Amino acid sequence: MCRHGLPARTHVRAKIAASFVTLQYNVTFTATDEKTEQFILYHYGFKDLATIFFYTLVAIILHAILQEYVLDKINRRMHFSKTKHSKFNESGQLSAFYLVSSVWGTCILAAENYATNPTNLWESYPHTLMPFQVKFFYIAQLAYWFHALPELYFQKIRKEDILRQLVYTSLYVFHIAGAYLLNLNRFGLVLLVLHYFVELLFHISRLFYFSDEKNERGFTLWAFLFVVARLLTLSLSVLTFGFGLAGAQNQNLDLAAGNFNILAVRTSALAAICLTQAYMMWKFINFQLKRWKEHAHIQALKKKTTNTKSKAAKKGENKANGVNGTVASDDRDSPRARKVKSS
């Protein structure tokens, strides 16, 4: 009985472990053209929660490695203040994540031809079956943003920064999970790559700014691309929900088939995207106004300092020339004219 029981337990444990590590819900298809080939596609299900949990732990470990062996060493050399220390760590971590995600997402878009034609974003909806790279990309994205929640404690984030990080982390989870669960993975992938590229530029610019505060050229380019990215996001959203999916033939809610193409879902999704873009633009405008005020304040201080120095130099020069009741050196050395006494 032991002999038969041990392999059975091992098999169960291996199966449970596989549900955490490997992607679940695979479907094998056979293409019978010239050559018989098999390819595997994936859909989502409840077991994905176990996979997301496992890769969340992986993200925490990778975060700690990057922090310990790269960012902390740079912080010790640069001697940043507490405020700059926190912002540098944030930009360092996010730069690495945005770089990997941007390159990875771009490779998927090129391989699957999602970005070559806008109609690929809504044609043959619902997109319930995904290639391995697409599903793994979404699993990794959700795992990373879920890992950001315990990192608020591990990184000892300041209380005034916790709310801000909770807000943008929640927005990422909400939109990525929404695209994943509503079978809008192609649409979500295009918007994520577009957004990540712009965010990557911002955080790299901030890292360069910390090393040299005179280096602000990256922020100017980021400001332009940020506005362009918001316009492109809104345009693609209106095109997808307002025209593409709205003109599709099948507009009936079918949970079993994964079809969510109904007016209520389309309106809610479009409204959520528009509100998020409006919120980001509002934050962007406040950020730019704050930068302009700080720049104007610095220029005013420099001008005031220059005027003070010039006045001090002028005053010293006037004193040397005997102005304001003082006796000049030339007058002190020359003899005074004497009055002639009358005899």
Question: What does the pLDDT read at residue 195?
Answer: 96
CB 141 within 8 Å of CB 105: no
Q: Which positions ≥6 away from 17 have C-beta within 8 Å?
A: none
List, for residues 124-152, the tens digit of each pLDDT value: 899 999 999 999 999 999 999 999 999 88
CB 291 within 8 Å of CB 219: yes
Q: Which positions ≥6 away from 70 have C-beta within 8 Å?
A: 92
The model carries a pTM of 0.83
Name the average pLDDT for the chain: 84
Question: What does the pLDDT read at residue 155?
Answer: 80
DSSP string, 266-290: HHHHHHHHHHHHHHHHHHHHHHHHH
State residue 158 phi and psi, 5-degree precision: -65, 150
Burial class (CB in 10 A: 0-12, 13-18, 19+), 284: middle
Element (H, E) at 39: strand 36-42
- Helix, strand or coil for residue 250? coil
Which residues of the chain are modeled with pLDDT < 70?
Answer: 1-8, 11, 31-36, 307, 309-343
List, for residues 226-270, the tens digit of each pLDDT value: 999 999 999 999 999 999 999 888 888 999 899 999 999 999 999
